[in-house]
Structure 1
Amino acid sequence: MNVNTAVNLEDLRQIARRKLPRIAFDFIDGGVDDEDCMRRNREQFRRYQLVPRYLIDVSKRDQSTELLGRRYASPFGISPTGLAGLFHPGADELLAQAAKAADIPFLLSSASNCAVETAAKLAPDHVWFQIYGTRDERINSDLVKRARDCGVRTLVLSVDVPVNSNRERNRRNGFSRPFRMTPSVVLEALGHPAWVLRYLRTGGIPMMSNWAPYGREGATAAEVADLYGTLTPAPMIKWQTLERIRADWNGPLVVKGLLHPDDARQAAALGVDALIVSNHGGRQLDVAPTPIEMLPAIRAAVGNRVELMVDSGVRRGSDIVIARCLGARFAFFGRPTLFGAAAGGAHGIARALQIVRNEIDMVMAQIGCSTFDSLDERYLRTEDAGPDWGHAAPAAIELPIPNIRRQR
């Protein structure tokens, strides 16, 4: 199997598995602790069925979607993913260019190997910049300033990493700071000679370019990575940090990682423009709820004050349709495009995006919906719906909202 014959995202994952050493593949593929949260992210999508409507003209279909004042060709984008250059040289740049070609947003991670200034030049209308709060308020402010100065329109603050998590696959493989290439890791990696040669030819661990300006002059990639590790995560980050960023940033501001309706309500009150409901792809808290579970409650909490998006567990075009029916305007995914990069560079990334776009188009036709914007809960049925569902009035189907006890 190769990129050209991949028919779904799982095919690209399997190609990447063959091409990457275990230490690199597991960094992309793994979750936290027992990886239950990562599995539940997929299972929750399977709770829903899409109920088709027939005898409707779907000969023309439009999946373009307006988001934060701009219309994109498809209702999905690329989530922020760090260290992409480890899986394919220049992967961040390739992701930015692929997003531009597909007319979708690419959320460049502040932990990327490509500097925000470079990515903004490659895809000025499609690159968003994602940051974490750091232990140094001056760096927080400077990252915001750099995004503004290079013309980035949308800033994303991720808030769901107060501390490092227990990613057991990484620990077993020695993927931590300081980086340890144990004999077993080296031996396994030698079974992937093409990756090893690229790794050696490009100088080993790639530079975290967004952080290079904050290190000493001439600092190595390892030294910059260590600096990043001392300044993030920042457990002291509070709502006041978000307030300061909101005051410094005039463009659209997105908060990524909130799961509680009360937090969503507070973010809306502080003037945030949009939320990405996310559990970090199951990589932070293994007992966290899934975004799909929490989306209806968050939608009820914020109303139309902010635009809602989701990520975590999106692997099919039907997932994005379901998320839209539950109230999310957009969906993001990160692992599939990293697997695409590992499987075939620019061609692999483009193939991942095309697969998802084709699946959305096919699902829309199958359920009798010609425009993505017109999707709503009327197309949904849950697996626990009662036997009389088919006799219900044609109004919107009632979806259960999780019972979240308000924190006092």
Structure 2
Amino acid sequence: MATAINLHDFRAMAQRRLPKIAFDFIDGGADDETGLVRNRNAFQDYQLVPRYLADVTKINQTTTLFGREYASPIGISPTGMAGLFRTGADAMLAAAAKKANVPFLLSSASNFRLEDAAKIAPDNVWFQMYATSDERINHDLVARAKNAGLGVLAITVDVPVNSNRERNKRNGFTRPFRMTPSIMLDAMTKPGWVLEYLKAGGMPMMSNWQPYAPDGASADEVADLYGTLTPAPMTNWDTVSRIRDQWSGPLIIKGLLHAEDALKAAELGLNGIVVSNHGARQLDVAPSSITMFPAIRHAVGDKMTLMLDSGVRRGSDIVIAKCLGAQFCFFGRPTLYAVAALGQEGADQVFAILRREINAVLTQIGCKNFDDLNERFLLRAGQQP
């Protein structure tokens, strides 16, 4: 079993196992993919200033979020179609989240029913949904999450239109999907993945949408139905308000980058925001989430729980985000790379690596409790010490 040293290693491992069409679906961004680079480079605008001669014999990175204590301030972002990269990937990610005691935001576009995920890790699975063009389905998705006993609901709002992901277009990964000769030829260079794909029956089912399709609908037909329901450009604040009225538990909104939008979310009684640019998969010229985070924090203060997603790859990234006021960080690609490459073992390794990195950084900067981090440990680029 291969062992990764850091999260970047999983990307290379996944690239060796997956055909190009599958790897590029995970790896790619929108348009020229400058946003991918910007998401990572933005963390370099900050440095951590260590304080020495502090007793850091014992480090504590437990974090309480929406009334529940988690072992680490990290979680899995929603990622659709994980079952294409490894059969049963969503179940593996749920199990990894339970083992590490961190949240897993199950995507409504996953290949795993939310009800089944709730059975694996009822205290760790959150549900992420896109509002659709059918209000009845929106209502039903919320009701299903509630009936399954999931504690947190997230609405992703930064996909009003399908983005221009040119890698997918060049590779032929479009709807309706067709297995062309060139795709088959490339896939045959990865026989392990092909055998697993065929054994599973081909394209995995988007199980959360199966109830809204005709009886006996194929995986392709269910995916096509999903494509007619989303994106839903008519989604607006009234949509969010209706979901707020229906959902009594913690409700968070994912994908905001503007301070005025954050204030509106607070006014509607939402409990948290995941500041995110969708991993640079939607608007290539959008600013990074870490760049916009301080303005959002200044706008909403302590009114809401603020979290961060997009570009997180190191324990130091998570420490920097906390110094800026983010209580939690989420990431998606690293867990997909890991589970695609190594299955359950890979998913587990992600959290072991990040826990180790966070502990090392906290020890080095003289902060024994993650919750004690603040701006006194932070130096911005160009800032005088």
Q: What TM-score, normalized to structure 1?
A: 0.94
Mark the runs of 5 or more structure 2 residues left unpaired by the alignment.
none
Cα separation, 1, equivalents of 2:28 and 2:260:
30
Work out which of the residue numbers 65, 68, 75 in structure 1 matches 2:66: 68
Corresponding residue for residue 347 of structure 2: 349
Cα separation, 2, equivalents of 1:42 and 1:132:
26
The aligned amino acid for 2:16 is R
Summarize deviations over 1:19-47 as a string: whole Å, max 9, x none.
00000000001000001111100000011
2:216 is aligned with 1:215 = no
Work out which of the residue numbers 36, 39, 45 in structure 1 matches 2:37: 39
Cα separation, 1, equivalents of 2:2 and 2:112:
24
Cα separation, 2, equivalents of 1:45 and 1:15:
25
Q: CA deviation at 1:184?
A: 2.2
Corresponding residue for residue 80 of structure 2: 82
Work out which of the residue numbers 237, 240, 246 in structure 2 matches 1:239: 237
Cα separation, 2, equivalents of 1:75 and 1:67:
9
Cα separation, 2, equivalents of 1:30 and 1:181:
20
* Greater shift in the superposed pair: 177-186 or 82-91: 177-186
The aligned amino acid for 2:316 is S
Q: Secondary structure at the match of 1:285?
A: coil
Corresponding residue for residue 189 of structure 1: 187
The aligned amino acid for 1:267 is A
Q: CA deviation at 1:104?
A: 0.2
Q: CA deviation at 1:311?
A: 0.3
Corresponding residue for residue 202 of structure 2: 204
2:147 is aligned with 1:159 = no
Q: Secondary structure at the match of 2:217?
A: coil
2:71 is aligned with 1:91 = no
Q: Secondary structure at the match of 1:3?
A: coil
Q: CA deviation at 1:161?
A: 0.2
Corresponding residue for residue 327 of structure 2: 329
Cα separation, 2, equivalents of 1:277 and 1:323:
11
Cα separation, 1, equivalents of 2:357 and 2:43:
15
Q: CA deviation at 1:188?
A: 1.4
Summarize deviations over 1:100-135 as a string: whole Å, max 9, x none.
000000000000000000000110000000000100
Q: Secondary structure at the match of 2:207?
A: coil
Q: CA deviation at 1:182?
A: 2.7
Q: Is the 8 A contact 1:164 1:284 kept in 2?
A: yes
The aligned amino acid for 1:293 is T
Cα separation, 2, equivalents of 1:385 and 1:302:
24
Mark the runs of 5 or more structure 1 residues left unpaired by the alignment.
390-408
Corresponding residue for residue 3 of structure 1: 2
Cα separation, 1, equivalents of 2:180 and 2:39:
32
Q: CA deviation at 1:343?
A: 1.1
Cα separation, 1, equivalents of 2:183 and 2:111:
23
Cα separation, 1, equivalents of 2:185 and 2:67:
51
Summarize deviations over 1:196-225 as a string: whole Å, max 9, x none.
011111111100000000000011000000
Q: CA deviation at 1:78?
A: 0.3
Work out which of the residue numbers 248, 251, 257 in structure 1 matches 2:249: 251
The aligned amino acid for 1:125 is D
Cα separation, 1, equivalents of 2:222 and 2:2:
34
Corresponding residue for residue 315 of structure 2: 317
Counterparts of 1:5-24 in structure 2, within 5 Å, are: 6-24=4-22
Q: CA RMSD in A?
A: 0.7
